Amino acid sequence: MTAPESDRRTFLARIGVLGAALAAGGLVGPLARGQAPLAGASTVDDVVGLLRPVLAELARDTLNGLVVMTCPGPDAYSRAQGTPRREPGAMEAKATDFMIASLDDFVPFPDQLGKALGQGLAAGLSGTGIPLPLPPVTTLDDALATVLRNDATLPLSSVVAMLLNLTATQVNPAAVNGVFLSPFARLSYRDKCRVFEQLEGPDPDLLATLDANVPPPFTETLSGVLRFLAGALLEFSAYGSYNEWSVYDPQSKTLRARPVGWQLTGYQPDGVVHGWDELKGYYQGRKKVAN
């Protein structure tokens, strides 16, 4: 049975895609303004190509709201969650870039499980929904389902973002509207913690939503996947905020600037240390060592 249009619109809004597409303007904007349909989008690949940047921007905004949980600073996302600080934080450390690079390029997350989560997030997205001037995929929900079920590798950052946003709207339904692009970024710190409580639980309603289109045998492992993601996301956020990744020059193998993590912890206040005096030579002034 096809889900009602209002339900599909609600689902799109809850995972953040509706707001991201409206903000981008490239998908539904021209039609809403009465302009001519977009030219050049005549294949499924064209549609996927148009929607991927929207999902990427949604992922970045969602992860901005995530990284400030572990390392808040003077930025707008930290202020929105109610924990601003004067010293630099995750945003200044470019922890979001670290998260995107890690999730999309380095995390050994099984591709089949990633696709299964994507299919779960596409639950209920069928039939006639928000119109798009992009034949052969003519609605926003169909376009999203096409991306989620496409043979090409779906960036894990996009799956994570939609999952966080879906859970965010379960914690606080009012998060579907706000100043940021993503529902998760609009939450208070307390509500963000409740999101992770639901993921680590995991919440039965969330599992029921995702189980709709997750193929077996992944329905039996989905709760474990959510627990793994919940812990890993916070760990990676903290690591990305405090490590040297954003200022490390791989060519010269040197740091271009003092890392934010060093500033926050007072680590090596006088710069890189190549050895400590008390560790030079044998211990306690010994001149030789005998077996």
Q: What is the pLDDT of residues 35-92, one digit of tens each?
A: 434 445 556 566 667 777 777 888 899 999 999 999 999 999 999 999 999 999 999 9
Of the candidates 107, 148, 105, 194, the residue with the CA atom closest to the CA atom of residue 12: 148
Please state the length of the chain: 291
The encoded tokens of residue 213 equal: 């289109």
Q: Give the C-alpha separation, 166 to 55, whole Å.
A: 14
Classify burial at 266, counting beta carbons within 10 Å of its beta carbon; exposed 0-12, middle 13-18, buried 19 or more. exposed
Query: Strand 254-255 relative to strand 248-249: parallel, antiparallel, unpaired?
Result: antiparallel
Residues 251-262, mean pLDDT to the nearest whole number: 92
The encoded tokens of residue 265 equal: 């912890």
Q: Give the C-alpha separation, 169 to 94, whole Å.
A: 26
Q: Give the C-alpha separation, 221 to 291, whole Å.
A: 54
What are the φ/ψ torsions at residue 134 (nearest 5 degrees)?
A: -135, 70
pLDDT of residue 86: 96
pLDDT of residue 126: 41
Q: Give the C-alpha separation, 28 to 16, whole Å.
A: 14
**Pick the residue with more confidence: 239 or 286?**
239
pLDDT at 16 over 90: no
pLDDT of residue 257: 92
Q: What is the pLDDT of residues 96-134, one digit of tens each?
A: 999 999 888 875 555 555 555 655 565 544 433 444 544
What residues have CB less than 8 Å from 88, skipping those under 6 apart? Answer: 73, 74, 260, 263, 264
pLDDT of residue 239: 95
Q: Give the C-alpha separation, 198 to 174, whole Å.
A: 17
**Pick the residue with more confidence: 96 or 180?**
96
Which sequence spans correspond to the domains of the chain?
5-248
Mean pLDDT estimate for the chain: 74
Q: What is the pLDDT of residues 121-169, one digit of tens each?
A: 655 444 334 445 445 555 555 666 666 655 455 678 888 888 888 888 8
Q: Give the C-alpha separation, 158 to 58, whole Å.
A: 7
pLDDT of residue 38: 44
pLDDT of residue 160: 86
What residues have CB less than 8 Å from 216, skipping those under 6 apart? Answer: none
H helices within 178-268, ranges in order?
A: 189-200, 204-211, 222-242, 260-265
Q: Give the C-alpha separation, 17 to 7, whole Å.
A: 14
SS3 content of the chain, % helix, strand, coil (to 5): 60, 0, 40
Q: How far is CA 172 from CA 31, 113, 168, 184, 232, in A?
A: 31, 27, 6, 9, 23
Percentage of the chain exceeding pLDDT 90: 29
Contacts by residues 178-181 (CB-CB < 8 Å, ≥ 24 positions apart): 179/80, 180/61, 180/64, 180/65, 180/77, 180/80, 181/16, 181/19, 181/20, 181/23, 181/57, 181/58, 181/61, 181/62
pLDDT of residue 74: 97
pLDDT of residue 163: 84
Q: What is the number of alpha carbons within 13 Å of residue 47 lying toward its C-beta?
A: 24
